[in-house]
Amino acid sequence: MFLFLTIFVIVGVNFSSTAIAGEDSTIMALVQGSPWTAQLENKKGRKKKIRLLFSEDGQVDISFNGKELLTTMSSIDKSGGISFTTKKGDGKEFEFSFKLDEDGNLSGNISFTKKGGWREKHVVFRPTS
């Protein structure tokens, strides 16, 4: 009985880690290559266009309103989404956390520092050619 339980646990652990690795490679394969863009509007009505470009080595290039500002490394979180944190030259920190939604878009939140506190916005990035 003990031997059966041990084999069952080992096979179960290997199966679940293989499933997670499969999700990781799938989401990274889907986001790499073409840029992803989103448009945000602040309280004053000013629009900001954010563009993400994922490379094969996990690096993310981020631009705001056409200005290439940040480069950071992305990682796959435990839920199968993509997350990364970066800091601008002026000291503002940004945390990105996204998942692929049923429409094939990256949907999630951007958290950022402003006036000493954290703010959060929901955003949807769409693939662009």
User: What helix, strand, coil percent values describe the chain, rounded to 5?
Assistant: 25, 50, 25
d(Cα 129, Cα 116) in Å, to the nearest integer?
37
Indicate the domain borders of the chain.
2-127
Compute CA 7 distance to the chain's CA centroid, rounded to the nearest angstrom: 36
Question: What CATH number was assigned to the domain covering residues 2-127?
Answer: 2.40.160
Q: What is the pLDDT along the chain (129 residues), one digit of tens a residue?
A: 444 444 433 433 333 333 334 444 566 656 777 788 999 887 888 888 989 888 777 788 888 888 877 677 767 666 678 888 887 777 778 888 888 888 888 899 988 888 878 888 899 999 887
Quick one: pLDDT at residue 77?
A: 67
**Which tokens belong to 31?**
């986001």
- Reference 95, options 127, 60, 128; nearest CA is 60
d(Cα 60, Cα 103) in Å, to the nearest integer?
22
Compute CA 28 distance to the chain's CA centroid, rounded to the nearest angstrom: 10
Q: What is the dihedral of CA 114, 115, 116, 121, to 10 degrees?
A: -30
